[in-house]
Structure 1
């Protein structure tokens, strides 16, 4: 299921490799920012703050933007699918129960003013539910990572900054108190929220050249999947931080989805083969041209190589 910029929801069947349904929601203003599925219910959220619960026979609408400028993200708790979290610009974290969508069950409270007594601006960019019950972590465009315990207090129990780059995405690590966050400047790091100094990254993942748009940690394998605006899909090893796979996908990427039954052997090798094919092609060119060590023959081969590269 995917949400398009023109407020259209499409369903793609992987088995038959075709779209099976499409629906225009026409709710509120702005593009779809998030989608969720709960039993036979579809939940959509648009930038203007309207969250719509689509039943087969009725529709319920939630206004998640009673204050603020716009909605940035909605996330679903996979352990309790009836729970969703929302947040945006000047719209702090809220938790909603789809069984009772009239009012949020939790509203976060902003942190205290800074050292010069100025209000800290709110701009939630992404959030993720943690394995600990009642705990949720979020990232902000103002370089904050926060963890909330919504049964304990309204202010965050953990709050820290990392570098001077807006956070764009955050995801949790299964069976650990760790999160992986990505920034708008192409940085991605793993943090342990239960450490004495959580602002120190456990490890940093490298090789980015654009803003990190989405991150997925595999639920069973130590693999981190990420996509960025430099049009690459990357797979890093969670424990070592080593880049395992890198694939150019031709378009600016926003989201990544990973199957639960994915195996590391499913990754296609990208290194080594292109070089062997190029060497074979070079040998064929030399045979066709009757290559020798003269300067004229070397110049002809060099010209053909440049033409093929470009």
Structure 2
């Protein structure tokens, strides 16, 4: 038992960021959950709120965090310590998103400045030539030189960092409604889909849209879901599906290539606050989400069943999940551990030259505690 807990403390498989500025590491497991705060709680201030969180490299041994006070902090997963801090002083408002491209860091702030930070300087992009503020920036994982931006009265734009002077794509608003009134624009989040040239987004006005930026400027798919602002959206690996969260604690999965994409193919329940961030694991049928009700939740992607939830005391903003997260950590095997132990017992008895009269019972109990529990 002790050896298992020691191993769990060394290997956190989920990280969450909170409004209070706390970074928490968790090891989710069927038998025990370990969580740890990596900050000195007495030194935290309101401006330390974590507003963006990404992996700093492909090996996932570094976490980059954007804070409300325009500071970028880097956390080393291996040594479990903060290794660097940098204050931006660009534009106004908090950092809304971060991205990494080779050795270049890209930051976006609420006032619309997207900055590409090179080792010897910086290149600034004005992503808010029209509109009120920027809500989100996302990077294309298949083409890291491409980023998408959007916000309030600032529709989806696509930028190529190799030629950043002008966007290579600017979305066009949908047609007026049945009363011939203009439909307001407020992009809350967007994501690049596995399909080439396709981007999906969610809006604060309850719309889910999909764009093919090589085909047309207006969305190829557009529908409304719920009567609640949509807060976040993430893709499902290798499918034309997205999972969307709302400000009223609802989460649904949609297939954007179905004849009726507005009908969810899955609903995820058990929320009591706005869903702030979510991640679909790239290899496992698991959906991780954090909400303002202070819970981290894990749902099964296909069945919608709530597999695990963990109360973490703080209002949560962001979540990161390691790619090497193991399915067996949360989804139990079909065979009970006791049965597996009984199969091994005879082999172990032979190895120990088992004799109940010479302390053999105590040896077996110790091995059973280590292997089964």
The alignment partner of 2:151 has SS state of strand
The alignment partner of 1:207 has SS state of coil
Q: 1:222 aligns with which of 267, 275, 285?
A: 285
**d(CA) in 1 for partners of 2:168 and 2:186?**
20
How many residues of Structure 1 are paired with residues of Structure 2 in the alignment?
269
Match of 1:66 in 2: 129
**d(CA) in 2 for partners of 1:264 and 1:253?**
24
The alignment partner of 2:208 has SS state of strand
Aligned-pair distance for 1:268? 10
Match of 2:366 in 1: none
Match of 1:286 in 2: none
Match of 1:37 in 2: 100
Q: 1:94 aligns with which of 152, 157, 175?
A: 157
Are 2:216 and 1:153 equivalent residues in the alignment? Answer: yes
Are 2:318 and 1:236 equivalent residues in the alignment? Answer: no
Match of 1:80 in 2: 143
Q: 1:114 aligns with which of 160, 174, 177?
A: 177
Q: 1:9 aligns with which of 59, 62, 72?
A: 72
Match of 1:196 in 2: 259
Stretches of structure 1 that go unaligned for 5 or more consecutive residues are 270-310
The alignment partner of 2:298 has SS state of strand
**d(CA) in 1 for partners of 2:206 and 2:115?**
30
TM-score (norm 2): 0.71
Match of 1:21 in 2: 84
Contact 2:223 2:262 in 1 (8 A): yes
Q: 1:247 aligns with which of 286, 305, 310?
A: 310
Q: Aligned-residue CA RMSD in angstroms? A: 1.0
**d(CA) in 2 for partners of 1:234 and 1:263?**
16
Match of 1:130 in 2: 193
**d(CA) in 1 for partners of 2:125 and 2:236?**
30
**d(CA) in 1 for partners of 2:173 and 2:155?**
7
Stretches of structure 2 that go unaligned for 5 or more consecutive residues are 1-63, 333-373
The alignment partner of 1:265 has SS state of helix
Pairs within 5 Å for 1:296-307: none
Structure with the larger RCO, 1 or 2 (CA within 8 Å, 6+ apart)? 2
The alignment partner of 1:233 has SS state of strand
The alignment partner of 1:256 has SS state of strand
Deviation digits for residues 135-154 of structure 1, max 9, x if unmatched?
00000000000000000000
Find runs of 4+ consecutive structure 1 residues off by over 2 angstroms: 264-269
